[in-house]
Amino acid sequence: MASPYTIAEEMLGASSSQRGLAGMERTAAPKGPNMMDGGAASKVGVNTQPYNNSRLQEQNNLQNTSSAVPQAEADAIMDVRKQRLVGDNAEYKAAEFAEERKAEVLSVLGSPATQAMASMTPPEASKFRNDIATGKAMAMGANPDLVQNAIGNERYA
């Protein structure tokens, strides 16, 4: 029976198996000419360009998709951050407007104490309320640290 393989390809396998090296017979390249390998890209009698083009187009699409995913994720994250910033800015402007109106009302009332409270910044107002709570706790004989702890828990709850 005639073999489609060359003498060198046949002898390498036989020689390797006689020496106990059967695992060396098969490498990454299969025996025989490329036209017998079963792959669509290595046929000499066929125009393989359409197959190669479609295979390369598929690879291109996969690479474009895999490289577009991280950018789309980054865009989505930035969009969420932008929306959060817009919301925070609107909330800040609304609070600022309310504080301005409160200051106007208190200035019309003419009380110096209420005017002083109206002109406080938010951190100053928070400290003022904490000082009042601490003073009340001390007047009642309670531990001021417990009051501060309760205020902190209420603030961050």
DSSP 32-82: S-GGGS--TTS-SSS--HHHHHHHHHHHHHHHHHHHHHHHHHHHHHHHHHH
Q: Are residue 127 and residue 157 in the same domain, yes or no?
A: yes
Residue 52 domain flag: no
At residue 63, the pLDDT reads 93
61 pLDDT above the threshold of 90: yes
Q: For residue 18, what are the domain limits?
A: 1-34
Q: Are residue 107 and residue 87 in the same domain, yes or no?
A: yes
Residue 144 domain flag: yes
* pLDDT greater at residue 35 or residue 150: 150
Residue 132 domain flag: yes
At residue 16, the pLDDT reads 79
Q: Do the Cβ atoms of 137 and 146 come closer than 8 Å? A: yes
State pTM to two decimals: 0.38
Q: pLDDT of 77-97, one tens digit each?
A: 999 999 999 999 999 999 889
Q: Are residue 149 and residue 127 in the same domain, yes or no?
A: yes
